[in-house]
Amino acid sequence: MNHVFPRQNLAPPVKAVRGEGCYLFDESGKQYFDGSGGAAVSCLGHGDAEIIQAIQDQAASLAYAHTGFFTSDPAEELADLLIKHAPGTLDRVYFVSGGSEAVESALKLARQYFLEKGQPQRRHVIARRQSYHGNTLGALATGGNAWRRAQFEPILMDVSHIAPCYEYVDRAADETPFDYGQRVAQELEDEILRLGPDSVIAFVAEPVVGATMGAVPAVEGYFKRIREICNQYGVLLILDEVMCGMGRVGHLFACDADGIAPDILCIAKGLGAGYQPIGAMLCTDEIYQAISDGSGFFQHGHTYLGHPVACATSLAVVKAMLGRRLIPRVEAQGEKLSQALHDRFGQHPHIGDIRGRGLFRGMEFVADREAKIPFDPTRNTAGKFKKAAFDAGLICYPMRGTRDGNLGDHVLLAPPFIISDDQIGEVMDKLAVAVDQVFP
Ligand code: PMP
């Protein structure tokens, strides 16, 4: 018993045995509301009969065929469907098994693109401080979360980190949100110029920051300016929508809300809705053609690329999202969730900010609401909140963020898209139990 290496240190480990709709059940029969969809994964809820059928059908006809030899119907159909709805000129899809693999693939594709174009001097990557892009070494180096990076610093590749767009903490009182966005976007141009304008491969960012700040969207105009700067210096824009993409913020692709399109886009999590591990990297035809007209081979690969069962599952998931009109529902339920959070916790002395888009919402905990001072990290506010909510039957995603100089404490909510009005009320009641316990 308990030979499985645990990811989390909730001791002793609780064994999950069943999922149904928005709920998970443990072996004692206790029911948990899945208020974070795992980590923004279970967008359709648990036990969806149509998705289960798609898995069974595909496993019975073709479970696996190596992409060194074959493509498959589900991979092709899924790519067509994603491309049909993708922003800008994204035109090619590379299927992997998760978010970190998607980011690694994007970094390597960007580097190889410039080699094919005869620009081998391009080697720098720029990302943002409060960000998470995965746990494999390239993705970890790209992310700016000091806590996750600390032990591995000496073996991480060199990535520049500029300021994120974090209005709640960083915007000056006399600055408009727009001016603030332009100011922090300027850091990208400054860093490109510092490194040498023809030496930068890519800028990497999450349209709505998830795992390090709890659902922080950029202010209006920020990403438009970022796109302009990337265009001006020929730097590729890689958007990491692993957490915020696939309908989570009320658009199939999160960057649609910012009115821009990247050169490379990473998705995962909601793409498989938790039914299969799958991620993807989408790129423009220009990038694809540079490689196909050049060496003709993307120097990368994993055994489970384009896995037929994962692709068939994801195809059923995306069709369900579109066919059941779940994305407009995300917007409607997201507004109600936001309103409920403001009504219930908007005046709480230790909740400094409530933010997010669609069904991707976060709250930031503070010791002092007026001065926006975070709690001392030794208090372990996020950890205590997670435990209190879990005991109350609510799975949410509390985190210690990466506020400069201190770790802020946040909680992320990312419930299944099928959440009902009553269930929003249930989440509020359970959150209130945790809030009362952690801030007596
Ligand atoms: N990028 C972002 C924005 C993420 O939130 C995550 C996971 N939390 C990843 C990448 C890594 O994805 P995975 O855990 O599937 O490797």
How do the domains of the chain map onto residue ranges? 16-47+325-438, 52-323
Q: What is the pLDDT of residue 5?
A: 62
Q: What is the pLDDT of residue 146?
A: 85
- Residues 288-310: pLDDT tens digits? 999 999 999 999 999 999 999 99
CATH of domain 16-47+325-438: 3.90.1150.10
Span 412-439, mean pLDDT?
Answer: 98
**What is the distance in A from the centroid of ligand 1 to the CA of 422?**
30
pLDDT at 267 over 90: yes
> ∠ CA 78-83-85 to the nearest 5 degrees?
105
DSSP state of 21: B
Phi (first) and psi of residue 233, to 5 degrees: -105, 10
| Residue 255 near residue 262 (C-beta atoms within 8 A) | yes
Q: Based on the number of CB atoms within 10 Å of its own CB, is 294 exposed (0-12), middle (13-18) or buried (19 or more)?
A: middle
- Residues 92-128: pLDDT tens digits? 999 999 999 999 999 999 999 999 999 999 999 999 9
**What is the distance in A from the centroid of ligand 1 to the CA of 374?**
25
**What is the distance in A from the centroid of ligand 1 to the CA of 100?**
6
Q: Do the domains 52-323 and 16-47+325-438 match in fold? A: no
Q: What is the pLDDT of residue 408?
A: 83
pLDDT at 287 over 90: yes
Q: Specify the pairing of strand 208-209 against strand 200-205.
A: unpaired
Span 326-351, mean pLDDT?
Answer: 98
Span 266-289, mean pLDDT?
Answer: 98
- Residues 203-248: pLDDT tens digits? 999 999 998 888 999 999 999 999 999 999 999 999 999 999 999 9
Which residue bears the tokens 């090619």? 92
* Model pTM score: 0.97
Span 312-334, mean pLDDT?
Answer: 98
- Residues 133-178: pLDDT tens digits? 999 999 999 999 888 898 999 999 999 999 999 999 999 999 999 9
Q: What is the pLDDT of residue 377?
A: 83
pLDDT at 184 over 70: yes
pLDDT at 130 over 90: no
**What is the distance in A from the centroid of ligand 1 to the CA of 24?**
22
Residue of 131, 209, 243 to mutate, ligand 1, most atoms within 8 A of C-beta: 243
Give the integer Cα–Cα distance in Å for 440 and 199.
Answer: 53
pLDDT at 2 over 70: no
Looking from the CA of residue 209, the nearest atom of ligand 1 is 3
> ipTM of this predicted complex?
0.99
Looking from the CA of residue 244, the nearest atom of ligand 1 is 3
| Residue 411 near residue 362 (C-beta atoms within 8 A) | yes
Give the integer Cα–Cα distance in Å for 385 and 365.
Answer: 10
CATH of domain 52-323: 3.40.640.10
Looking from the CA of residue 139, the nearest atom of ligand 1 is 10
Looking from the CA of residue 98, the nearest atom of ligand 1 is 15
Three-state DSSP class for residue 26: strand
Question: Residues with beta carbon inside 6 Å of ligand 1?
Answer: 39, 98-100, 103, 132-134, 206, 210-211, 240, 242-243, 268
| Residue 244 near residue 270 (C-beta atoms within 8 A) | no
- Residues 394-414: pLDDT tens digits? 999 988 755 555 568 999 999
- Residues 4-58: pLDDT tens digits? 665 555 566 789 999 999 999 999 999 999 999 999 999 999 999 999 999 999 9
| Residue 399 near residue 2 (C-beta atoms within 8 A) | no
Looking from the CA of residue 269, the nearest atom of ligand 1 is 15
Query: What Rg value do the Cα atoms of the chain yield, rounded?
Result: 21
